[in-house]
Amino acid sequence: MIIQNTKAIMFDVYGTLFDVHSVIDECKKHFPEKGKSISEVWRKKQLEYSFLRGLMGNYRPFWSITKDALRFACKSENVELTGTIEEALLGSYLKLKPYGEAEGVLEKLKGHQLAVFSNGSEDMLHPLIEHYSLQTHFDYLISVNGIRQFKPQPSSYLYALEHLGVERHEVLFLSSNTWDIAGAKTFGFKVVWVNRSGDVMDEFGIQPDHIIGDLTGLLD
C-alpha cells in the first residue's frame, strides 16, 4: 500500500492538484489563435525563471516570476499585453481548475497529516486553494517563500520537513514534475510521480517509489 508507514502526505500544487493549462481558456479569450502556445510558453518560462533565479541567488516570489513569464510569452508570440489583459490572465492563475479527482481523494485521506508544498508564494497559494474551499483538508500550506529557496534545492525540502515534525522517510511526497520528484527523492522523501500524460522520467539516475496515473492511484 502506497501510504503504509507514512506519517505525512505532502502534495505539490501546480500540475499535481491543479491544472496549470486551465489558463488556456482565458488566453484564448484574448488571443484566440495563440491561447495554447501562450499557455505553454508561460509555464515553461515560469519554471525556467525560478530555476535560473535559484542558481543566480536572485530570488523573487513566484507571483512576480509568473508575471515576468507571462510578459515574455506574449512578447514571444508577438501579441500586445495590455494592463487589463495582464490582470485577467494573472487572475486566472488564482482560479486554476483542480483535477477532477483531487477533492474526493483528499476527503478519503481524512485522518492523515496532509500538506501542500509549492514554489508558489502565499499570495498565490491561499487564494487558489480557498477559491475551491480545499484548505480544510490540509494541516499546512507551505510555500518556499518562507525560506526564499525554490524547489528542487535541498534547503527547500528541509524547510517543509521542519513544519511536519516527522522524519524524512516518513514523508510521502506527490508531484507531477519529474524535477521535483528527483529533488524530493534525493532529499530522502518517499515519492510518488503523478504521471498523467504517460511521460518518461528524466535521466537523473533517480526513480520514484511509485508511479500513478492520477491521484486515485494513491488509494489503491
Q: Which residue numbers are catalytic?
A: 12
Burial of 186 (0-12, 13-18, 19+ CB in 10 A): middle
DSSP secondary structure letter of residue 172: E
Contact 156, 150 (CB under 8 A): yes
**C-alpha cell at position 127:** 487564494
Tell me the CB-side half-sphere exposure of residue 20, using CA atoms within 13 A. 23
Peptide bond into 152 cis (omega under 30): yes
Contact 142, 115 (CB under 8 A): yes
Distance CA 145, CA 190 (A): 23
